[in-house]
Amino acid sequence: MGGGLLVAGTTSDAGKSVVTAGICRWLARRGVRVAPFKGQNMSLNSFVTREGAEIGRAQAMQAQAARVEPTALMNPVLLKPGSDRSSQVVLLGKPVGELSARGFFGERAPGAQDPSPVPGGRQRLFEPVVACLEELRRTHDAVICEGAGSPAEINLRRTDIVNMGIARAAHLPVVVVGDIDRGGVFAQFFGTTALLAPEDQELVAGYLVNKFRGDVTLLEPGLEMLRGLTGRRTLGVLPYASGLGIDEEDGLRVSLRGAVREAPVAPPVGDDVLRVAVCAVPLMSNFTDVDALAAEPGVLVRFVDRPAELADADLVVVPGTRGTVRALAWLRERGLADALVRRAAEGRPVLGVCGGFQVLGERIEDEVESRAGTVAGLGLLPVRVRFAREKTLARPVGEALGERVEGYEIHHGVAEVGGGTAFLDGCRVGSVWGTHWHGSLESDGFRRAFLREVAEAAGRRFVPAPDTCFGALREEQLDRLGDLIEEHADTDALLRLIEHGPPAGLPFVPPGAPASPTPLPTDGAGRAGRTDRADEAVPAPRQAAAPSAPPAPPGPRAPQAAPSAEHPRERGVQADPVARAATDGAPRQSTTRERGTS
C-alpha cells in the first residue's frame, strides 16, 4: 500500500489545490508514482476522462502535475450546483441524481420530500470514497489528497468524507495550509487545530504558510510561538507568486488568465489587439475554455454583465452553464440578449460553447434541468435543443477550419442542427459560431485559425502568434508549482509523513471539538478503516478530560523539539466499491467576479 498525505486548508481558497498540485509535480520529478485524490469536490468546472467519467478540472490538472492519466478514482464524488439549495451528484464519473443540501447531510425539513435515490445521503458515499482511495494507494507509491473548505467545519464533521473523515479512515497525516495574504494566519492555524476532536488532532502533523510577501525572518518568531502553542512545526513558507494559476473549483481566478493578467506578456504580433468579452452567466461552467485565448499575446479577456461592456468587444463568448434556461432569462433581463442579436445582425463575432451554444439556438425543450418546458432561444443559429435525462460525456476528436481539434463534451442538451455551415458538432451562420465542445481552443492550430477568422470579421489587424503552445505554457505553470514546494517547503519532513504516516505524540490543543453525534464509522465494522488499538476503534469526538484546576490561558511557550516523523504508517483500509450511492448537494457558487482584463 502506497503512502499518503492530506492537504487541508484553514479556509476555502487557502491554496490546497496549488499545494496538492505542487507536491504531485515535485514527487513526479523524483520518479515517484504519485496520484491526486479529492473525495468530494464541488465545482462547475469539470473534465471528462478517457473512459468517459466526469471529474473536477482541478483533479484533472493535478493528474497532469503528477504525470498520470486522470481517472474517476481521483474524484469519486463531484457536486454540480444547479441552484442555491441543490446539486447534481456525480458518483464515480456518472450523474446519479439531484439532492438538496439537507438531503445530502441526511436531514429533511419538516414535511419536505427529497428526491434522494438512496436514503442516507452522504453517509452512503463514504465506502466508495474510501475504496477509491484504497485502489489508488494500491497502484501508486503515494497519493496526495486534497481536502475541501476547512477541516474544522464542526457542523459537518459527523458526515465528513473529504477532510478528517477520510484522514482518520485511512490514517493519513494532515498538513494544514493557511493563506497569510488574507491576514490572521496564526489564529487560523491555532483555531483550526483547537476545534478538532483529539483523535483528529493526532493526525494534524504541521502547517504550510501560503502567499507570503516580505522578509520571512520577521515571520519566524510567530512560527516558533505557534509551535509552542500547538506542538506542531510549520513545514514551509511559500512565497506569493504572481501569475500562478490552475484550474479552480468555483472562482474566476483561473489558470493562464491569471498568468497573462499579472505577468508581463509579449506584445501583439500584428498592429491591433483583440478584445474578448465573456458573458458571466449564472451557474457558469467550464469558463476555463477562454484560458487558451488569454494565453495569446495581444488577446485581452474580461468577464462582463452589462450591454455597454460588449460595445468594444471584437468577440463575445457565451460560455457553458449548468442552467441554460436560467442563463437565457438572465441575458434577457440584463439586456445582453438584445445586444447579442444586434451584434449578429451587424456581422460581429459571437461564440457559444455548450450551454452558450444552446442559448443561441431557436428553441429549447427542457423537462430535465429547469423543467421549464419549451423556451424560445435567441434565434441566432438554426438549432433546436432537447434535454435528455442521460448526460453526454465524451472526448471527441475532429477537424475544423482545416485544423485538427480535440475537446470534451458534458451536457444533457441534444442539438438538432437544421442549417448553417458545419462547425465541430455545431454550426456557423455568418459570424456566429456554436459548439458543445469544451477545450477546443486548446488545440493550437485551430485556435489560431479561429482567431484569424474573428479578426477578419471584426476588422482588426490582429495576427495570432505563430509559436504559442498552450500545452507547454500549462506545463511551465505546473513546474513552477513544483519549484515552490521544492525550494520553500521542508521536503524531507513531507517525505517522512508520506512514507511513515502521522508522528506519534502530537499534543492535544484544547478545547477540542464540541460534543456531537458519532461521526461516520472508521472502524472495521464500518468497513471504512481500522486503528492500531484492538480494544479501541476510533471513538466519537470527545472533550478533553476536565483538569483538576482551571487551566492557564493559552500563551507562548518555549519552543519544543520537533515531534519525530519516524512512525510506522497505518496500512490502508479495505472496502468494496459501491456501484451507486446517494446524491449530494450543498452548492457553493462563487459570488465574486473578476472585472480586470486578462
Q: Is the pLDDT of residue 11 over 50?
A: yes
pLDDT > 70 fraction of the chain, expressed in percent and rounded: 78
Q: Is 354 a catalytic residue?
A: yes
Whether residue 559 is predicted with pLDDT greater than 80 in this model: the reply is no
pLDDT in tens, 212-241: 999 999 999 999 999 999 999 999 999 998
Question: Which is the catalytic residue, given 24, 132, 279, 354?
Answer: 354
If you average pLDDT over residues 140-166, what whole number do you get? 93
| Cα–Cα distance measured from residue 232 to residue 250, given in angstroms and rounded to the nearest whole number | 31
**Interior angle at CA 368, CA 364 and CA 371, nearest 5:** 70
Residue 555: pLDDT band (50, 70, 90) is very low
Task: Provide the pLDDT for residue 579.
Answer: 30
In tens, the pLDDT along 524-552 reads: 333 333 333 222 222 233 333 333 333 44
Q: Residue 123 — pLDDT band, cuts 50, 70, 90?
A: low
**SS3 (DSSP) at 292:** helix
Select the more confidently predicted residue: 100 or 129. 129
Residue 98 has pLDDT above 90, yes or no: no
| Span of 9-13, 187-191, 436-440 with lowest mean pLDDT | 9-13
Interacting residues of 483 by C-beta distance below 8 A, sequence separation 6+: none
Active-site entry in 412, 438, 488, 567: 438
Residue 518 pLDDT: 61
Min mean pLDDT across 292-306, 405-419, 501-515, 550-564 is at 550-564
Which range among 275-279, 430-434, 465-469, 564-568 shows the weakest confidence by mean pLDDT?
564-568
pLDDT surpassing 50 at residue 129: yes
pLDDT of res. 516: 60
H or E element that contains 227: helix 220-230
Is 41:75 a contact under the CB 8 Å cutoff?
yes
Three-class secondary structure assignment of 449-486: HHHHHHHHHHCCCCCCCCCCCHHHHHHHHHHHHHHHHH
Residue predicted with more confidence, 521 or 579? 521
- Identify the weakest region by mean pLDDT among 362-376, 381-395, 556-570: 556-570
3-state class (DSSP) for residue 327: helix
595: pLDDT confidence band, cut at 50, 70 and 90? very low
Cis bond before residue 76 (omega within 30° of 0)? no
- Position 13 scores a pLDDT of 86
**Is a pLDDT exceeding 60 seen at residue 113?**
no
Phi (first) and psi of residue 211, to 5 degrees? 65, 45
Average of per-residue pLDDT across 199-217: 95
Q: What is the pLDDT of residues 456-495, one digit of tens each?
A: 999 999 999 999 999 998 999 999 999 999 999 999 999 9
Position 507 pLDDT exceeds 50: yes
Which distant-in-sequence residues (6+ apart) come within 8 Å of 298 by Cβ? 267, 268, 269, 270, 272, 273, 274, 462, 465
Active site residue 469: no
Please say if the pLDDT value at position 112 is more than 60: no
Task: Give yes or no for a contact between 202 and 506, defined as CB atoms under 8 angstroms apart.
Answer: yes
Confidence of residue 253 (pLDDT cuts 50, 70, 90): very low
Cell of 81: 450546483
Residue 145 has pLDDT above 50, yes or no: yes
Task: Name the band, by pLDDT with cuts 50, 70 and 90, for residue 521.
Answer: low
HEC sequence for 141-186: CEEEEECCCCCCCCCCHHHCCCCHHHHHHHCCCEEEEEEHHHCCHH
Residue type for position 179: D
Tell me what pLDDT residue 529 has.
Answer: 35
Neighbours of 250 (CB within 10 A): 20
